Structures are given as structure tokens and as C-alpha cells.
A and B are shown apart, each in its own frame.
Chain A
């Protein structure tokens, strides 16, 4: 089995009896053992559990039972997802003392109900307050395209594991860009669904107002396959919308005919590296996009997202900051302490602005079906790099990698980040956001699929790992 096989083809091979689930899981665990010491993607493996599930799946097939659409597909999850029997770390040292989770997160259970097999938990920035993928406790997750560079975060292990061919699908979380940033820097596809689409039950929170969960994968059909398997209401998550499953796979090959697509201008044209500009140009060209659209007050939306994030994040961790401040990652601790000191009127004004902004942006979708915008301002910075240059200004990396993702997740719009390989002649990929109106993930996925078929968007294999 090639490590670059996607989930869709693995499941087809397992269902057809061309390969056993046990062989798939064994090969996956062997590849993780070989490559993860360099990548730093995993923080825990559940090998015995995975092999037991694989054996059960093979036995079910031998008994003539029908297998699910994800039969035998190995996957892994950011370590803020509950995994029965493990403490839910959320990238922290503090949570290592927590009791083991009594059950799996809803999304893990839903993937496994369709035949997928969880193999482990993935590295992440502490408590998800991060865009770099660095972690003071577990070490950084490393970018498979250049091990000296960042994966992006906070779902850094998810980016590294999928881009490095360790698993075809990983789950991550995205509060301000934590799926889209690593997808961009690691050169893979990432779906941040509409706020409220996928259940967050059994995941460690960060900012209730903006927390989303979603998949990362090397093909669009794998994103759609896993996304469809995870949809549906969940009484265990009050934020999960009571919407029936709206499958995206049947319309995935529908092409872009009839879709009105525009490119975000203004804020989203400023401060782009040459690679980010070229990638967005390439996507716009492939889609035949000439129209531009202004997302009003995007800079202020980012500012408001920052305020709500720092205040809600600080409030969540206040008690731990009182008792165990020394045990935090210093980069996270200082931001959370400052967050606790955010004046309340600013946060309330930010939430009022959020509604105003949402109303303005939703009006744009009367004129267009989708908007394209860069995902990150640059390709992957070096690990440990604190500053970078954006539009001639020197800014902190940690806070600014999400410059273009924050104004979108601020109002919960669905986005697929598509990877554009080797822009500017170097080995590093960079992503572009495909954004649609709420609940229209199907449109994002259709456009991403079209770009993938045209060869413009593609998850490149890292040169060192082919």
C-alpha cells in the first residue's frame, strides 16, 4: 500500500478485499514509527485499539457484512479531541493530570461508525492559542516540506501527519484559522465548516464564539467523504445546528458552471508575499475569475475577533492561571493573562460589531456564490522565527499568520483551504481560501474539486519523503 493513497481508495480496496484493514493499520503504524521522530506530529498512539478494530472489520467482511464508506481508513486527531482512556491534553502539560476521557468525541465516533480507524492523537499549539505549530512541552510539529520550518498551527500535528503521508485524514480545530493556516503551510486541503455544522462535543474548548472542528486531507474527495460522515445534529453540543445531513459527495464533480465567484480585494490584497499573490492569481485564473469584491471592514473584523478570542480564552483559563501559571507554555500564558485583563465594554462592542459585519458580508452572497482570498500571507516561516515582513512592515509571526483567516471564521463562514504547490519556484506550498455563504460547504468543495482536477490545487509530496 502506498502511503500516498487517499482514504477513498483505501476504503474501496478494503471493501473489495484487495487489502485487509489489519495490513493497512500495520503499514500506517510502521510509517509513523519511521517518520514521526522527525516530524513530531503524534503525541500518542492507540495501536492496540486500532489493531483490534482492524481485526473486527476484517472479520465482519469475512462474515459477509457490508462495510462503511471509510472502511479501514486510518485517521488521527488533534489532541484536544477526547479519546477514551487518554487525558485530553489540548497541547498542554497541565491537562496531563486530568482524568482519562470516558468516551470518544462525537466526531471520532461518527468516523469510526463508518469504518475509519483512529490511530492516535496529534501535536498542537498549547490550548489552541497559536498559529505556529510550536509547543514548549512536546516540541514543534515540523513541516514535511522542510523540517526546519513551521507547520502552522494550532493544528500543527494534523498538518504534518497528513502532508507527510502518515495518515490520509486528520481532524483539527479552527477558531481563527487553525485548520486553514497549517493546511496552507503544509500544502494540503482543509475544511473549516460553517459554525455549528459539526459537533464539538468531546473536544477541549478555546473560544466558544468561534470554535469549529473539521478535517484535513490530501484530496478533496477525502475532505468530502469525512465531512459527510461527521455531519448531523448532536444534543451533546448546544452550538451544533439542528440540521439534517446534507451530503456533499454526490455533487462534488458538478464543476463550476453557473457559480459566480469573485476575488476579495482591499484588505485581502495588502501585505501579500509574492508566493501568496501568485497562488491567489493562479486560482483566480483557473476559475476564470475577473470580478473583485470588497469584504467591508475586514481589518476591524480581525481586530474584533482578536478581542473576543483573548477575552474568552483568558476567562476559560483564569483558574489555571491562578494556580499553575508556571506550567503553561510561556507564549500562551502571557497572551492569556493579558486576555483576562481585556476591558468588558470592548468585548461587548466587538460582539455587536460582529452582528453588523455578518449582515454586511451576507449581503455579498446575493451577488456571488463564492469568494477567493489568500489563506496565509507567506509560505512557512522557520521554526523559532518571531518576526516576518508583511507589506514592508515587520510583525510578529505568531499573531499574524492568521491575518486573512480571522475575518472569515469571525462570522462562521465555510471555507476550504486549497494548496497551491511550489509557487515562486521553491519547494514550499501555500494555500488559498474558497469561501461561501453559511451552510454552503458544498460550493467550497465543488470549487476545490474543480481546481484539483485542473491541477492548480494539489497536495504535493514532500521531496524528502517520496
Chain B
């Protein structure tokens, strides 16, 4: 994603989540979200079967 696309995403999510973002926070939030998405792509790229269970298992 470009910086402009990310900024639009951040702006929309801030509205959705009810977060008031100061303009001067934008760059650091974007930088952190870029790391999240880079790591997210690494995890996404790993092939797991549909049956793979998440680590936390709820016991009734």
C-alpha cells in the first residue's frame, strides 16, 4: 500500500473505532502499521490447512 492509501485506511479506521488522531501522530501510526502489515504478510504467506486450530482452545 502507498502512504496515501495507508493514511486513508488509518483515517477511516479512526472514525470506525472512535479514535481522535492528532495530525502529528499520523506518521508514527503509519510506520507502526506498516510493520504490522509487513509481518502480517509473512504470516499470511505460510500455508496451513483449513483444519488448523488456533493456539488458544476454549474449554467449556
Interface of B toward A, CB cutoff 8 Å:
9-10, 13-14, 17-22, 25, 28-33, 35-36, 39-40, 42-44, 46, 48, 52-56
Contacts and interface: CB of A to CB of B under 8 A. Distances in A.
Contact of B18 (A322, A334, A341, A342): A322
A330 B28 contact: yes
Contacts of A333: 25
Contacts of A338: 29-30, 32-33, 36
Interface residues of A, number: 40
A351 B39 contact: no
Interface string A323-336: 00110001001110
Contact of B46 (A300, A310, A326, A411): A300
B18 to A, nearest CB: 5
A307 interface: yes
Given A346-B44, A349-B43, A339 B56 contact: no
Contacts of A307: 36, 39-40, 43
Contacts of B14: 337
A340 B18 contact: no
Nearest to A346: B40
Q: Is the interface of A mostly helix, strand, loop or mixed?
A: helix
A209 interface: yes
A304 interface: yes
A245 interface: no
Interface of A: 209, 297, 299-300, 302-304, 306-307, 310, 318, 321-322, 325-326, 330, 333-335, 337-343, 345-346, 348-356, 358, 399, 411
Contact of B33 (A300, A341, A349, A353): A341
Given A333-B25, A335-B32, 5 more contacts: A300-B43, A306-B39, A346-B43, A354-B54, A354-B55
B52 A352 contact: yes
Contacts of B29: 334, 337-338, 341
